Amino acid sequence: METSDKTSKLISYWLRHNPGDAGLIVDDFGWASVDQLLYALHSRNIQLDFSQLLQLQSGFDKVRWEMDEQSHKIRATHGHSFPVLLDDKVKIPPETLYHGTAVKNISNISAEGLLPMARQFVHLSETIETAITVGKRHGKPILIEVDTKELINDGQAFFQTSDNVWLTTAIAIDYLSFRPWHPAIDESGFAIAELRREIGDRTSHFLYPHLNNLKLAWRSSASDDTLFKDEKTGECFMVHLTYTKKKQEIEGWPHIEKYRSIEEWFETGLWTDQQYFYNLE
């Protein structure tokens, strides 16, 4: 009896708190492979087979875990210290949720949107603080806002875990905001035309040779800052366009900051602006 109780407590510990200790892969619903679990027990000299595991489960005075015999999976029924979706009913989230990630991931996210990666779902937080904490686990943190109202209008479902984490499927870039910046497309060519006008005929201007290769990449919603990327060299230029109708005669205008790559701008320009915008310093 004592041995069985110790075994059940060990299994509960793995399923509720530390699946990695047993080499278990737990999905977003808390399910783990019974075969992996039995292997982990055997490696600790605890010899159980599937039928014995069922007998151990039936001997509880209250339910600790549940088993799906058809798919050979097992999960704890309560007490998780990590986010688990035990109730698979669709819920309505706040209109804005947050995703914290590392700056190094922004290139892929801005191109492909938020993907579940190794998980079944994208994980989202209700607060900026929680999302930033999550982002710090992976590196220099960056914050992404998710427009859930528009996603729901377009048919996307959301679920809420036992730990108040929101789950949903992949999110396209159109529903994401990297405030105060957002990816931009200059279909009319207005941004490039304005940049050309403000530089004028100053062939000595360091940006002049790049003009034919520049493409609008990002815009700021908090100012007239605009990011252009040289499609040939990969260099990026953050330009504070003035939109003045006066001839640009003052040296140094428009104000321009140069970055060796879009990744360098993510690391410095975007990250710094988010610190000010969200008052994270």
CA–CA distance, 127 with 151 (Å, rounded to integer): 19
> Considering the chain, what percentage of its residues have pLDDT values greater than 90?
58
**What is the distance of C-alpha 3 from the center of its chain?**
43
Find which of 85-89, 172-176, 205-209 is predicted with most confidence, using mean pLDDT: 172-176
CATH code where residue 108 lies: 3.20.170.30
Reported as a pLDDT band with limits 50, 70 and 90, residue 270 is: very high
Reported as a pLDDT band with limits 50, 70 and 90, residue 57 is: confident
Find which of 187-191, 192-196, 230-234 is predicted with most confidence, using mean pLDDT: 230-234
Shared domain check, 153 and 228: no
* 81 assigned to some structural domain: no
Rg (CA), the chain: 26
Question: What residues contact 214, with CB distance under 8 A and at least 6 apart?
Answer: 192, 195, 228, 229, 230, 231, 237
**pLDDT tens digits, 128-169:** 999 999 999 889 999 999 999 999 999 999 998 877 889 999
pLDDT at 66: 86
Higher pLDDT, 21 or 66: 21
The mean of the pLDDT values for the chain is 89
**pLDDT tens digits, 211-228:** 999 999 999 998 889 999
Amino acid at position 121, single letter: F
CATH code where residue 47 lies: 1.10.10.970
pLDDT at 247: 57
φ, ψ dihedrals at 70, nearest 5°: -65, -45
Shared domain check, 166 and 216: no
Shared domain check, 190 and 172: no
Other beta carbons within 10 Å of 233: 11
CA–CA distance, 14 with 34 (Å, rounded to integer): 12
* 127 assigned to some structural domain: yes
Contact 58, 68 (CB under 8 A): no
Domain of 197?
A: 182-277
* 53 assigned to some structural domain: yes
CA–CA distance, 191 with 224 (Å, rounded to integer): 11
Contact 218, 203 (CB under 8 A): no
Shared domain check, 200 and 268: yes
* 50 assigned to some structural domain: yes
> Considering the chain, what percentage of its residues have pLDDT values greater than 70?
94
Shared domain check, 190 and 267: yes
Shared domain check, 270 and 222: yes
Shared domain check, 191 and 134: no
* 83 assigned to some structural domain: no
pLDDT of 77 > 90? The answer is: no
pTM, entire model: 0.72
Q: What is the mean pLDDT of residues 102-124?
A: 91
Reported as a pLDDT band with limits 50, 70 and 90, residue 253 is: low
CA–CA distance, 255 with 4 (Å, rounded to integer): 72
Cis, peptide link before residue 94, omega less than 30° from 0 = no
- What total of structural domains would you count in the chain? 3
* 25 assigned to some structural domain: yes
Shared domain check, 190 and 272: yes
Question: What residues contact 13, with CB distance under 8 A and at least 6 apart?
Answer: 21
